[in-house]
């Protein structure tokens, strides 16, 4: 992101209210996980991850856990998701540390969006309405209304399952930008229709006993649909049309 663009987005973010803590803001920030818990949670995707690597990322200021009174590192659910992001950027995008640090700075400030993967650690940990509202910079009543309208599902009073968090934040932000529930419902129904169409288009591969190819075809169509939707939203020369 260019510096002028960053300043413009920062101004808009400041108008929406400050975010609390580091990204991902909508996940639990309480440090309750030991280093062994973190390594166990990430070993399937990152089998070469070691304590030394965790120490290095801490020293670089990318993922800095809390400390016990005895000085031992303790991580939160949010820290684990942050680690996943950093490690994927290094492994899949070959991103240098400086680039990752800048990206995290934007995520921390609410200037960028990154979907959550929500792995093993914290999968069953409910996320409070207030945490979601803080992440979306809206009143708690907005999140409560999304639940009341059936657009997201509450697993227990005043909290959502982590699987609902990304949608809840996105929906709340959409409403905060001036949309109403009716418009949000139309948008959600359109997305649902496209998901169903993508599944139907990939169904023949399932009958050919090619589930992996079916899943790949379905995801490819969904990615193409997302790109088409974004292109339609931001096509040039249509202001006032």
Digit-by-digit pLDDT tens for the chain (241 residues) are 444 444 444 444 444 455 667 898 877 788 888 888 888 888 888 888 998 899 999 999 999 999 988 888 999 888 999 999 999 999 988 899 999 999 999 999 988 888 877 554 444 567 788 878 876 778 899 999 999 999 998 877 888 876 677 788 888 888 988 999 999 999 999 988 998 998 888 888 766 767 777 777 887 888 788 778 878 876 655 554 4
What's the gap between Cα 16 and its chain centre?
19
Question: Are the beta carbons of 212 and 199 closer than 8 angstroms?
Answer: no
Cβ atoms of residues 211 and 180 within 8 Å: no
Indicate if the alpha-carbon torsion angle 232, 233, 237, 241 is positive or negative: positive
Give whole-number Cα distances, 203 to 188, 220, 224, 230, in Å: 23, 14, 18, 26
Using DSSP bridges, classify how beta strands 66-67 and 73-74 pair: parallel, antiparallel or unpaired: antiparallel
Phi, psi at residue 75, to the nearest 5°? -110, 155
Which pTM does this prediction carry?
0.50
CA 229: distance to chain centroid?
Answer: 19
The single-letter DSSP state of residue 73 is E
What pLDDT is attached to residue 54? 93
Please list, in sequence order, all residues whose beta carbon lies within 8 angstroms of the beta carbon of residue 103, skipping any fewer than 6 positions away: 89, 95, 112
**The sheet that has 127-128: what strands, in order across it?**
127-128, 159-160, 154-156
How far is the C-alpha of 6 from the C-alpha of 66, rounded, in Å? 29
What pLDDT does 122 receive?
44
User: What is the model's pLDDT at position 238?
Assistant: 52
Closest CA to 159 of 17, 27, 16, 29: 27
Q: Are 89 and 100 in contact (CB under 8 A)?
A: yes
8 A C-beta contact, residue 153 and residue 160: yes
Cα 214 to Cα 217: distance, rounded to the nearest angstrom: 5
pLDDT at position 222, please? 81
CA distance 2 to 7: 9
Residue 11 CA to its chain's centroid (Å): 22
User: Tokens standing for 145?
Assistant: 């209304």
- The pLDDT value recorded for residue 119 is 53
- Specify which residues 160 forms β-bridges with: 127, 154
């Amino acid at each position: 992101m260019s510096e002028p663009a960053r300043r413009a987005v920062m101004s808009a973010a400041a108008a929406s209210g400050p975010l609390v803590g580091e990204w991902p803001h909508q996940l639990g920030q309480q440090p309750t996980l030991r280093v062994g818990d973190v390594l166990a949670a990430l070993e399937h995707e990152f089998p070469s991850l070691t304590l030394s690597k965790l120490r290095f990322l801490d020293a670089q200021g990318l993922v800095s856990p809390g400390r016990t009174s005895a000085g031992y590192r303790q991580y939160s659910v949010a820290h684990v998701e942050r680690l996943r992001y950093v490690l994927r950027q290094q492994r899949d995008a070959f991103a240098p540390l400086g680039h990752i640090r800048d990206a995290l700075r934007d995520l921390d400030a609410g200037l960028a969006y990154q979907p959550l993967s929500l792995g093993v650690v914290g999968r069953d940990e409910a996320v409070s309405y207030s945490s979601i509202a803080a992440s979306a910079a809206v009143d708690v009543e907005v999140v409560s209304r999304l639940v009341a309208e059936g657009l997201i599902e509450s697993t227990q009073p005043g909290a959502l399952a982590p699987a609902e968090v990304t949608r809840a934040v996105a929906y709340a932000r959409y409403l905060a930008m001036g949309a109403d529930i009716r418009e949000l419902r139309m948008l959600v129904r359109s997305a649902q229709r496209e998901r169903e169409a993508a599944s139907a288009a990939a169904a023949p591969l399932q009958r050919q006993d090619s589930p992996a190819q079916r899943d790949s075809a379905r995801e490819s169509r969904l990615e193409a649909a997302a790109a088409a939707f974004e292109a339609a939203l931001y096509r040039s020369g249509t202001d006032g049309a």
